[in-house]
Amino acid sequence: MSKNSQPARTTPMEEKSPDDAPTATGRSKGPIALLVVAVFIGFVAIKLVSDGVGTAPSPASEGAPAGTTITSVRNDAAVDYDAAVASGKPIYVLFHSLTCEPCVEISSVADEVLPDYEGDVVFVNAITDDPSGQQLAANFAFQYIPTSFFLSAGGAEVVDSFTGAMGDAQMRAYLDALVQAR
């Protein structure tokens, strides 16, 4: 073997990492990673749009801090219930959470429907994750959330109750019955 025919040696600085090596098709992994990131960002953007981010506020939340709706206000539910009873008007009590899917659904419906009944029906928002919501829940018999209680004027009796999510028309029917029974 001649002096000039020695195999080429690489130094550690010249070695390439496996990430820099071309794939079996001869392409590097950079464009594929970029494509995956772009698709992920696209999905996030679609999710934000479908969740209503960037849309105009509903009438129920006008004048309230950003992101606040009728059903997301964390008042003392027990105090609100006592005030509702003292008002002498029919009462709608909604026991719910801000996280369970059926609770979010009925909250959305309530946020749209309740402004139409302002002055006729008093709404009590009882978030069961809060101590005051749990305190008020101890006065009612139910097992699951969301649960709606429709009470006669002054809270004298439970006229009706419903467990689960309900649509706009169904909620209006319950509230209309309360107003008419007054």
pLDDT one-digit tens code per residue, 63-116: 445 567 888 888 999 999 999 999 999 999 999 999 999 999 999 999 999 999
Higher pLDDT among residues 7 and 98, named by residue? 98
* Model confidence pLDDT, tens digit, residues 155-168: 989 999 999 999 99
Residue 1 within a domain: no
What is the C-alpha to C-alpha distance for residues 4 and 19, in angstroms, rounded to an integer?
A: 33
CB atoms within 10 A of CB 41: 10
**Residue 10 pLDDT > 60, yes or no?**
no
**Pairing mode of beta strands 158-163, 122-127:** unpaired
87 & 153 share domain: yes
Pairwise CA distance, residues 92 & 10, whole Å: 79
Range of the domain at 79: 67-181
Question: Are 29 and 19 a contacting pair, CB within 8 Å?
Answer: yes
Q: Evaluate whether residue 18 is within a structural domain.
A: no
Q: Is the pTM of this model over 0.85?
A: no
Same domain? For 37 and 87 the reply is no
Regarding predicted confidence, which is higher, 37 or 66?
37
E-only strand ranges, 37-182: 91-96, 122-127, 147-151, 158-163
Q: What is the pLDDT of residue 70?
A: 84
Residue 110 located in a structural domain: yes
- Statement to judge: residues 49 and 85 lie in one domain: no
Counting the structural domains of the chain, the total is 2
